A = this chain, B = another copy of it.
Amino acid sequence: MSQTQLEAARAGQITQAMRQVAQAEGLEAESLRRAVAAGRVAIPANPAHANLEPRGVGQGLSVKVNANLGTSPDRADMAEEKAKLDAALEAGADAVMDLSTGGDLKAIRAQVLANSTVPVGTVPIYQAAVKVTGEDRGIVDLTADEMFAVIEDQAREGVDFMTVHCGVTLSALERLRSEGRVTDIVSRGGSFLACWMVANKKENPFYEQYDRLLEILRAHDVTISLGDGLRPGCLADATDRAQITELVTLGELTQRAWDAGVQVMIEGPGHVPLDQVEANIKLQKRLCHEAPFYVLGPLVTDVAAGHDHVACAIGGALAGWAGADFLCYVTPSEHLALPGPDEVYEGVITTRIAAHAADIARGRAASIQRDREMAEARRRMDWDRMMALCLDPKTARAIRSGSMPAEEEVCTMCGKYCAVRLMRDYFRPGEK
């Protein structure tokens, strides 16, 4: 291909993707182009992903939501994966990641790419790991060439963004060991690389041969999502020396990717107490020169298993308000099992609530207006309009129709004692 979105933007060109994103966001295309040129916005849009409707991630745009999909060795079913993708799209995900590690990975990915209208991300090292373990070798027996081969394959197939844990370096691992963490590494890709490095006594190939990686990504305009392999896996490990060391490295790698014409996002924690969330966002924005920040949660407690989507929404809302651009969802199954379609739906909706609350706090006019229209519909007791304005009309309708009041105007919470109606009748009689 000729140019990445970043290169085109730098050359002063407004691409079709930029126009589509600008329109969706209610921005001038030229101001979006400048943000892409500066690296503050990424548009993950591999030209080989045929039916993609591009989305932008970054400063000045609405906060986006990603849904992690994919099989595991214990649970690999093509039909279920299709149902999960459908659930994510129905719930309004802005991106999906296929994180499969079970079944026919290439076929599953092809199914996702063929059916996803939103950007598709992967963590290519997973496929490399599955390949070697299927050959009765271990993850530590992978060769660097095998790792790069998977990246090239997936780039050619049309993957829009890839998580690569380039910041898991030997020196970061040394810092991790000396830090004395409770949970060393909980990132799957990060642990694969760390174990490979320890077993082989070698530097991370994605760090050592970073230019080789960038060359492949640039050729297909794959956005690199610089993975945080050392993200904290519990509150006790949050914002520690290991995590921040990796982040400093990711800042250096951001600049090198931009120099090579590759679009960048930075991945962030993880498990972070409420009072450290804002600092994490400000730090990333400074160290990575305003590159889009993609946070995995953050979860604000470790003891919410079964409801970790809620712990994630709390942290995500705060992170988005502080400047995070892209929230990775968590489902009620997190820390317990692979989610099914219902959990995927719930996870996306919950994270969209967090993203929307953050957009409002950041002053985004369209988001504020939506809530105002909902309030006006409530005042008018206009149920059709209320349902249309809900983030999840399907669930809202089901709850209401499962418990209908005697008088259709109100609801069964208060029935004839509805405060809104009383105020209309007594406080503002005659007004609409």
Instruction: List which A315-358 residues lie within 8 A (CB) of chain B.
Output: 317-318, 321, 332-338, 349-350, 353-354, 356-358
For A386, the closest partner residue in chain B by CB is: B305
Distance to closest chain B CB from A22 (angstroms): 24
Note all chain B residues with C-beta closer than 8 A to A423: 184-185, 191, 194-195
Taken together as a complex, chains A and B put the C-alpha atoms of A321 and B173 apart, in Å, by 34
Instruction: List which A186-227 residues lie within 8 A (CB) of chain B.
Output: 186-188, 190-192, 194-195, 198-199
Distance to closest chain B CB from A202 (angstroms): 14
Does A267 have its Cβ within 8 Å of any Cβ on chain B? no
Taken together as a complex, chains A and B put the C-alpha atoms of A74 and B417 apart, in Å, by 10
Does A273 have its Cβ within 8 Å of any Cβ on chain B? yes
CB-based contact A300/B234 at 8 Å? no
Note all chain B residues with C-beta closer than 8 A to A372: 182, 234-236, 302
Q: How many copies does the complex hold?
A: 2
For A424, the closest partner residue in chain B by CB is: B184
Does A414 have its Cβ within 8 Å of any Cβ on chain B? yes
Instruction: List which A292-322 residues lie within 8 A (CB) of chain B.
Output: 300-307, 309-311, 313-314, 317-318, 321
CB-based contact A428/B303 at 8 Å? no
CB-based contact A390/B306 at 8 Å? yes
Does A280 have its Cβ within 8 Å of any Cβ on chain B? no
Contact with B along A389-432 (1 / 0, CB 8 A): 11110011011101101100001111111011011011110000
- Main secondary structure on chain A at its contact with chain B? helix
Report the interface size for chain A: residues with CB under 8 A from the other chain: 105
Taken together as a complex, chains A and B put the C-alpha atoms of A369 and B301 apart, in Å, by 11
Does A34 have its Cβ within 8 Å of any Cβ on chain B? no
CB-based contact A412/B338 at 8 Å? yes
* A305-B390, A414-B101 as given contacts; A399 in contact with B333, CB under 8 Å: yes
- A-B contact sample (17 more), CB < 8 A, given A301-B356, A307-B395, A311-B353: A72-B413, A72-B415, A73-B416, A129-B417, A182-B379, A234-B375, A274-B317, A274-B321, A275-B321, A311-B357, A314-B317, A314-B353, A314-B357, A333-B399, A335-B378, A336-B400, A337-B413
Name 10 interchain pairs, CB-CB below 8 A, sorted by A.
Answer: A126-B417, A182-B372, A182-B376, A191-B420, A191-B422, A194-B426, A273-B357, A307-B350, A311-B357, A338-B413
